[in-house]
């Protein structure tokens, strides 16, 4: 999909996403894959849909706000040390740039995000 223009609609839950394997040095369990579709920009933030299949991976986060559409996962915070969070449909999460996280996805997780 190309940029989502004002007045257009897309079904974020039904968008096709081409998946690629998570890099070996980032994968922590299983053989997870991720897919993304960028929908454009809004007020200076990148907007898109991201998905991860079952498995585990490490990541360093961008400044981001997201809403989970489907799936379930646990996110653990290595830096800063914060309590783990559980994600499911409807979860709204804010991450800060530079956070070091570990994602464990049980059921393919799909989210809509805004990131700087």
Q: pLDDT tens across 55-86, in order?
A: 999 999 999 999 999 999 999 999 999 999 99
Which superfamily, per CATH, for 20-115? Answer: Jelly Rolls (2.60.120.10)
pTM, to two decimals: 0.96
Extents of the domains making up the chain: 20-115
pLDDT number for residue 69:
98
pLDDT at position 3: 87
pLDDT score of 79: 97
The upper half-sphere exposure of residue 91, i.e. CA atoms within 13 Å in the direction of its Cβ, equals: 18
pLDDT value of residue 1: 60
Which residues of the chain fall below pLDDT 70? Answer: 1-2
């Amino acid at each position: 999909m190309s940029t989502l223009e004002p007045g257009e609609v897309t079904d974020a839950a039904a968008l096709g996403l081409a998946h690629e394997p998570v890099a070996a040095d980032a994968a922590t369990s299983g053989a997870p894959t991720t897919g993304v579709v960028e929908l454009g920009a809004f007020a200076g933030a990148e907007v898109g849909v991201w998905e991860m299949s079952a498995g585990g991976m490490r990541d360093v986060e961008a400044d981001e706000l997201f809403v989970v559409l489907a799936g379930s996962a646990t996110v653990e915070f290595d830096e800063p040390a914060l309590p783990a969070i559980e994600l499911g449909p409807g979860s709204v999460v804010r991450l800060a740039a530079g956070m070091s996280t570990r994602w464990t996805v049980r059921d393919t997780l799909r989210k809509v995000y805004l990131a700087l």
